[in-house]
């Protein structure tokens, strides 16, 4: 398996995030947060490689965060590969991204809700061009799910970005909830659009998509496994078990759990060195 959506944050930031969830959400988060412990869980679950990210929720922190993410990846022997973060109100987010790629990041995480940014903000255009030129990808948390489940035209923003940047690969997290069907319908026109499974297939998840077998089979070539580990209130393998419970064809499950991720990012096609 390849998991494209894991969270690692510097200890103080992670403690603040956990406090936020404890105070403001009904989620009970109990998984470990230290990078080595997270990596050990993933190895034990049969994950051959994972992608991890953090996010700059305000200006002035992206550079330091990216340096920490790259250093953490090196400490893990490259088993986990980092996505950079940028903040559009920083003086030179493009230079921040270039520095992050030079340090080993393989793409960019954007969280519209936490960062209070829109994916189709034109200030992202030079950043998207840079990511496409480097064969990286964007992992995007689109809109305010799980705190609000009404559509906010996420697919409109995502497809406008893809129309302007046809070589850019974009992964929409959480299977695009609440607009999963609209994203799957857009796949034939946008081959570089991917959806991850994060928190959308685990039974009892606050972002359960309720997607049936047909919808998943229809998007099979562009769906990648993601989990949000360690920030989810259930066992690590719950999303995969939820997928398996749909009775998907074996090649579909294989594509979702590993093969599509290798197509998404060349770095994921290489074998990881042992940590």
Minimum distance of Zn ion from residue 228's CB (angstroms)? 4
Where does this chain touch Zn ion (CB under 5 A) — which range of 82-90, 98-106, 163-171, 225-233?
225-233
Q: Which is nearer to Zn ion, 63 or 174 (CB)?
A: 174
CB of 91: closest distance to Zn ion in angstroms?
27
Least distance from C-beta 7 to Zn ion, angstroms?
A: 6
Q: How far apart are CA 19 and CA 214, in angstroms?
A: 39
CA distances from 79 to 52, 220, 252 (A): 10, 25, 25
| β-bridge partners, 52 | 6, 82
Question: By C-beta, is 6 or 184 nearer to Zn ion?
Answer: 6
Question: Which range touches Zn ion (CB under 5 A), out of 60-68, 77-85, 201-209, 223-231?
Answer: 223-231
* Smallest separation, CB 111 to Zn ion (Å): 7
- Residues in contact with Zn ion, counted by CB under 5 A, come to a total of 1
Min. distance of Cβ 95 from Zn ion in angstroms? 26
Closest distance of CB 173 from Zn ion, Å: 6
Angle between helices 154-164 and 125-133 (to 10 degrees): 60
Q: From edge to edge, which strands make up the β-sheet containing 2-7?
A: 2-7, 49-53, 80-82
C-alpha span between 201 and 39 (Å, rounded): 22
Helix (H, G, I), strand (E, B) or coil at 102: helix
The CA radius of gyration of the chain, in Å to the nearest whole number, is 17
We find the least distance from the C-beta atom of residue 62 to Zn ion, in angstroms, to be 17
Give Cα 94 to chain centroid, integer Å.
Answer: 20
If the CB atoms of residues 3 and 228 are measured against Zn ion, the closer one turns out to be 228
Site membership for Zn ion, residue 196 (CB under 5 A):
no
- 20 vs 51: CA distance, rounded Å: 23
Whose Cβ is closer to Zn ion: residue 179's or residue 228's?
Answer: 228
144 by Cβ neighbours in 10 Å (0-12 / 13-18 / 19+) ranks as middle
> Binding Zn ion by CB under 5 A: which of 96, 179, 196, 228?
228
Cβ neighbour number for residue 274 with a 10 Å cutoff: 8
Which residue, judged by CB position, is nearest to Zn ion in the bound state? 228
**Torsion angle defined by CA atoms of residues 162, 167, 171 and 175, in that order, rounded to the nearest 10 degrees:** 60
Window contacting Zn ion (CB under 5 A); options: 182-190, 221-229, 252-260, 264-272 = 221-229
CB of 188 to Zn ion, least distance (A): 27
* Residue (9 or 87) nearer to Zn ion, CB: 9
256-272 as b/e: b if 16+ CB within 10 A: bbbebbbebbebbeeeb
Judged by CB under 5 A, which stretch of 33-41, 79-87, 98-106, 224-232 contacts Zn ion? Answer: 224-232
- Contact region with Zn ion (CB under 5 A), list: 16-24, 44-52, 151-159, 226-234: 226-234
Would you tell me which residues interact with Zn ion (CB under 5 A)?
228
């Amino acid at each position: 398996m390849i998991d494209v959506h894991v969270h690692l944050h510097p200890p103080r930031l992670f403690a603040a995030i956990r406090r936020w969830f404890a105070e403001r959400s009904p989620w009970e988060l109990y998984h470990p947060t230290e990078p080595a412990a997270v990596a050990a869980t993933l190895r034990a679950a049969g994950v051959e490689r994972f992608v991890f990210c953090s996010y700059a929720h305000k200006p002035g922190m992206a550079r330091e965060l990216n340096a920490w993410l790259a250093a953490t990846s090196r400490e893990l022997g490259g088993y986990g590969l980092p996505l950079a973060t940028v903040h559009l109100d920083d003086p030179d987010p493009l230079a921040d991204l270039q520095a992050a790629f030079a340090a080993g990041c393989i793409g960019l995480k954007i969280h519209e809700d936490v960062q209070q940014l829109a994916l189709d903000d034109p200030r992202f255009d030079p950043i998207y061009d840079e990511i496409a030129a480097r064969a990286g990808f964007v992992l995007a948390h689109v809109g305010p799910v799980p705190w609000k489940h009404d559509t906010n035209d996420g697919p409109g923003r995502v497809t406008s970005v893809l129309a302007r940047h046809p070589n850019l690969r974009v992964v929409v997290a959480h299977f695009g909830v609440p607009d999963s069907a609209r994203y799957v319908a857009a796949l034939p026109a946008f081959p570089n659009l991917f959806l991850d499974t994060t928190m959308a297939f685990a039974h009892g998840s606050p972002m359960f998509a309720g997607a049936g077998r047909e919808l998943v089979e229809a998007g099979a070539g562009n769906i990648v496994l993601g989990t949000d580990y360690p920030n989810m209130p259930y066992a690590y393998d719950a999303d995969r078990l939820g997928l398996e419970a749909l009775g998907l064809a074996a090649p579909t499950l294989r594509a979702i759990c590993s093969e599509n991720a290798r197509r998404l990012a060349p770095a994921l096609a290489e074998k990881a060195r042992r940590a």
